[in-house]
């Protein structure tokens, strides 16, 4: 095994961060022609020679050092699932998000392609002198000689169940007395259909009348599915089988793709879309950047309803005509149905969808269609940025400021950063778009890092909605204890009388959001998170929205047993009841996480609302952005006050964006619209600027605040988080890391500016029974800074004192929780 040859560098599938690295393996001659970087292999790893699946990261020549390398045991993939470009992205994710190689691979490839390895053992037909074997080895040989059932053998030699049998089994394999083979089972198989076609020499077969019918049909059409043959000829599958036995017909499996688009009943051309003067100027500028063939970034900044989607369509159509591919990213699954419906009519089957509401099989098939070049437009949420498209001309990120583009689990990437890497590799354009861009993006557009294109007017000169702020303190003082202010209730009445539609927003699901005891004055909290439970009336249960814990509504306090419970706070279920009481004839559609659990819920319910099967749509933030319903002329915000005070430096930005965007759902057709914001802080400048749709002034206020407090985009923020079932362990781990960083800076004489905040408890200190602490570092995200964070994580994971503590590092993530 030490002979000079081809060496594969392999990263293990279950590697912990501390030993995640590229390990050298010898490529046997039989694998050299087929093995490529990006394929998965089966290897023995570590001193215990545990069999694991790994990812080949590179293939190179042996350096001739005479190292004794282990050979690759098997190649798992029949073809490489990742392109050279995506392999580079995997390396980038490893360095920039502090994940393992295989975590990055799993993110880039649909889960359905995952494999499970099974090991099988069989005796080798050779003479064995059993007296030379150990008792343990002899026991295994005796069992193999008398047992032919492979399942029984696999059960007997299950190393996890019987670890004491591993050593004698390995010895028998080394001696050549036992043979080991592997089988790999994929999580989801390919969808296929059984087809039939005529075999050579079928004319010579003696056929019954029914069999002749089948042959005549196949002579006419060449090949058909067995199901179709049975239907068309009235025969059974047995007839087809007998034709196969007579060598008149051959049956084979043919791969079919699981449908995601549904039936395409109508078609239009992108050429039919007419752009106004502002849109045309933006389109021309964007296309000039794409035709230059160099990596670039641009922001399309336009008021709500200004026709940004029409510009997207024209750009994508032009990119396709150049022979290149395009990506369209949306922040929420709820936005895909309307976007896909529009694109289906315009581009037909050129579209591929990638989002979490698809089944594993559908995601796999869409991945294959993109990789084969059958689909040239990719539409999807965050993870679609990894789609295996080639020669990407443009990546469009709609509503680019949305936090859902940032992953909050490993790898903790932002879709924008991955898109920048992909545009760099393809010489494409990253087109960011929003009426309320993130502060960072608008800052980069103002300072020249991104090109800026602006749409200042609504399409067809539609008027922006009239927005009014309603003081709920005044309403309460004047005796109105309803969830709806009198002004909003009156406007809602008039809207329904005009046969128009309304949208009501409340960013809290459930019925009541706070239950407390009048006797002991304690809230009813989640035992795992110590956070007040939310009452859901539909299932009559108390629920925790953080860990999923549920509790029966026994109507007694779990602390003191008193039945004097008091409910407060408002959720979407309670608003639904209140609106239904005031407007008994109104058809109400509630859209929140409780009502959209099925795969096609968004598409079906939005379509029903668009067809005016409902009068009022009530929901959480999933209904606030990107949707277009021309008959909606009224928007009411029940309450968003809590969103202003979440403890995150982005809370003002998010609240402003949500208010501006939801107000923009009103008056998008030919009818004028209005929006009403109910609040207990009516003088807050964020609410007033949102009411005026004045993003430019909000940006000036907010960027000045960020600069004075040193927050992004003036720096980057890295959160190092700790979680443990024991608070003392989390505190000790946080203190250790703080001291390690101080020592690292002194030892390595690092001179980059950095500020540390904490360590301190997270805003929600306990979630799912784990105490959570964090250390916040403010610095520039440079290679030297990432090297320091990498050293922190490796030191921590190597330290056995902290094996009960989970650690993570997240750059520019959410610090509000």
Task: Record the tokens describing residue 695, joined without a space.
Answer: 């993003």
620, pLDDT greater than 60: yes
> Is pLDDT larger for residue 718 or for residue 48?
718
The set of residues, in sequence order, having a beta carbon less than 8 Å from that of 718 and lying 6+ positions away, is 776, 777, 779, 781, 785, 789, 809, 810, 811, 812
Lowest mean pLDDT among 239-248, 591-600, 633-642: 591-600
Cα separation, 652 vs 630, in Å, equals 29
Question: How much is the pLDDT for 527?
Answer: 79
Cα separation, 816 vs 609, in Å, equals 34
Domain 192-255: which topology?
Answer: Arc Repressor Mutant, subunit A (1.10.10)
CATH node for 6-114: 3.40.1440.60
| 3-state SS, residue 88 | helix
Question: How much is the pLDDT for 180?
Answer: 79
Under 8 Å between Cβ of 388 and 367: yes
Q: Which of 412, 422, 419 is nearest to 397 (CA)?
A: 419
- Say whether domain 716-811 belongs to CATH 3.30.70.360: yes
**Residue 714, annotated as binding a ligand:** no
Residue with tokens 């993570």, as numbered in its chain: 808
Domain 270-460: which topology?
Answer: Rossmann fold (3.40.50)
**Residue 244, annotated as binding a ligand:** no
> Is pLDDT larger for residue 48 or for residue 777?
777
Question: How much is the pLDDT for 262?
Answer: 61
Q: Is the dihedral of CA 257, 262, 263, 267 positive or negative?
A: negative
Highest mean pLDDT among 177-186, 329-338, 635-644: 635-644
How many CB atoms lie under 10 A from the CB of residue 527? 13
Cα separation, 633 vs 701, in Å, equals 31
Residues 732-753 pLDDT 10s: 999 999 999 999 999 988 888 8
Residues 469-515 pLDDT 10s: 999 888 888 888 888 889 999 999 999 999 999 989 887 755 556 67
Q: Where are the alpha helices (DSSP H) in 551-592?
A: 572-582
**Distance from chain centroid for Cα 33:** 35
Under 8 Å between Cβ of 652 and 691: no
Question: How much is the pLDDT for 2?
Answer: 41
Residues 67-120 pLDDT 10s: 788 899 989 988 899 999 999 999 999 999 999 999 999 999 988 888 787 778
7, pLDDT greater than 60: yes
Question: Architecture of 466-508+584-707 per CATH?
Answer: 3-Layer(aba) Sandwich (3.40)
Q: Do domains 270-460 and 716-811 have the same CATH topology?
A: no
Average pLDDT over every residue of 351-376: 84
**Residue 762, annotated as binding a ligand:** no
Domain ranges of the chain: 6-114, 118-186, 192-255, 270-460, 466-508+584-707, 510-570, 716-811
> Is pLDDT larger for residue 704 or for residue 227?
704
Cα separation, 122 vs 152, in Å, equals 11
Question: How much is the pLDDT for 451?
Answer: 95
> Is pLDDT larger for residue 607 or for residue 718?
718
Residues 386-419 pLDDT 10s: 999 999 999 999 989 888 899 988 899 999 999 9
Average pLDDT over every residue of 758-786: 90
**Residue 544, annotated as binding a ligand:** yes
Cα separation, 628 vs 665, in Å, equals 7
**Residue 520, annotated as binding a ligand:** yes
Question: How much is the pLDDT for 570?
Answer: 66
Strand 716-724 with 616-619, pairing: unpaired
331, pLDDT greater than 60: yes
Question: How much is the pLDDT for 1?
Answer: 38
């Amino acid at each position: 095994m030490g002979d000079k040859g081809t060496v594969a560098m392999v990263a293990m599938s279950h590697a912990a961060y501390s030993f995640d690295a590229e390990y050298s393996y010898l490529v046997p001659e039989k694998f050299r022609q087929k093995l490529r970087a990006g394929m998965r292999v089966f290897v023995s790893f570590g001193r215990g020679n545990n069999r694991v699946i790994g990812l080949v990261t590179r293939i190179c020549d042996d350096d001739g050092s005479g190292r004794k390398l282990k050979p690759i045991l098997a190649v798992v993939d029949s073809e490489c699932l990742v392109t050279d470009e995506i392999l580079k992205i995997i390396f980038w994710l490893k360095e920039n998000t502090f994940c393992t190689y295989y975590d990055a691979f799993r993110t880039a490839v649909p889960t359905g392609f995952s494999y499970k390895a099974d090991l099988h053992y069989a005796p080798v037909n050779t003479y064995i002198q059993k007296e030379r074997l150990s008792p343990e080895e002899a026991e295994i040989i005796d069992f193999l000689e008398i047992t032919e059932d492979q399942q029984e053998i696999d059960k007997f030699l299950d190393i996890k169940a019987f670890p004491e049998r591993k050593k004698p089994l390995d010895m028998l394999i080394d001696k050549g007395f036992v043979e080991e083979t592997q089988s790999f089972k994929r999580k989801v198989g390919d969808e296929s259909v059984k087809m039939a076609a005529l075999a050579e020499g079928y004319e010579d077969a003696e056929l019954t009348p029914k069999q002749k019918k089948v042959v005549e049909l196949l002579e006419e059409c060449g090949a058909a599915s067995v199901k179709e043959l049975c239907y068309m000829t009235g025969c059974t599958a047995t007839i087809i089988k007998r034709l196969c036995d007579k060598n008149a017909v051959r049956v084979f499996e043919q791969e079919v793709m699981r449908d995601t688009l549904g039936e395409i009943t109508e078609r239009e051309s992108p050429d039919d879309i007419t752009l106004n003067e502002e849109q045309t100027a933006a389109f021309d500028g964007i296309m000039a950047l794409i035709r230059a063939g160099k990596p670039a970034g641009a922001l399309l900044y336009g008021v709500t309803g200004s026709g940004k989607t029409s510009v997207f369509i024209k750009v994508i159509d032009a990119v396709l005509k150049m022979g290149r591919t395009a990506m369209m990213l949306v922040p929420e699954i709820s936005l895909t149905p309307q976007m896909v419906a529009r694109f289906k009519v315009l581009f037909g089957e050129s579209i591929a969808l990638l989002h979490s509401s698809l089944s594993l099989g559908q995601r796999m098939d869409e991945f294959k269609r993109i990789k084969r070049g059958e689909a040239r437009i990719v539409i999807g949420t965050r993870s679609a940025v990894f789609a295996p498209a080639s020669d990407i001309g443009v990546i469009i990120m709609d509503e680019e400021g949305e936090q859902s583009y940032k992953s909050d689990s490993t790898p903790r990437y932002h879709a924008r950063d991955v898109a920048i890497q992909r545009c760099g590799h393809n010489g494409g354009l990253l087109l960011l778009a929003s009426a309320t861009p993130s502060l960072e993006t608008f800052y980069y557009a103002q300072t020249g890092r991104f090109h800026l294109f602006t749409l200042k007017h609504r399409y067809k000169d539609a008027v922006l909605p009239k927005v009014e702020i309603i003081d709920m303190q005044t309403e309460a003082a004047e005796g109105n204890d309803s969830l709806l202010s009198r002004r909003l209730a009156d406007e809602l009445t008039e809207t329904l009388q005009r046969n128009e539609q309304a949208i009501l927003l409340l960013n809290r699901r459930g019925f009541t959001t706070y239950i407390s005891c009048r006797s002991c004055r304690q809230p009813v909290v989640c035992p795992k998170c110590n956070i007040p439970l939310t009452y859901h009336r539909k299932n009559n249960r108390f629920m925790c929205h953080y860990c999923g814990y549920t509790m029966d509504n026994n109507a007694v306090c779990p602390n003191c047993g008193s039945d004097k419970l008091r409910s407060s706070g408002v959720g979407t279920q309670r608003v639904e009841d209140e609106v239904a009481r005031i407007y008994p004839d109104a058809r109400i559609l509630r859209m929140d996480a409780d009502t959209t659990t099925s795969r096609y819920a968004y598409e079906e319910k939005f379509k029903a609302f668009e067809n005016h099967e409902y009068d009022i749509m009530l929901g959480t933030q999933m209904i606030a952005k990107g949707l277009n319903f021309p008959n909606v002329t009224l928007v009411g915000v029940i309450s968003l006050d809590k969103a202003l005070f979440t403890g995150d430096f982005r809370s003002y930005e998010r609240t402003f964006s949500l208010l501006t965007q939801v107000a923009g759902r009103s008056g998008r057709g030919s009818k004028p619209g209005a929006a009403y914001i109910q609040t207990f802080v009516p003088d807050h400048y964020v609410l007033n600027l949102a009411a005026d749709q004045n993003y430019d002034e909000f940006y000036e206020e907010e960027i000045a605040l960020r600069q004075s407090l040193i927050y992004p985009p003036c720096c980057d923020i890295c959160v190092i988080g700790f979680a443990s079932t024991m608070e003392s362990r989390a505190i000790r781990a946080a203190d250790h890391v703080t001291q390690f960083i101080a020592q690292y800076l002194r030892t390595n004489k690092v001179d980059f500016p950095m500020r540390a905040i904490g360590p301190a408890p997270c805003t929600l200190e306990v979630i799912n029974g784990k105490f959570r602490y964090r250390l916040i570092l403010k610095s520039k995200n440079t290679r030297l800074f990432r090297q320091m964070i990498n050293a922190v994580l490796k030191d921590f994971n190597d330290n056995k004192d902290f094996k009960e503590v989970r650690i993570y590092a997240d750059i520019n993530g959410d610090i509000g929780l």
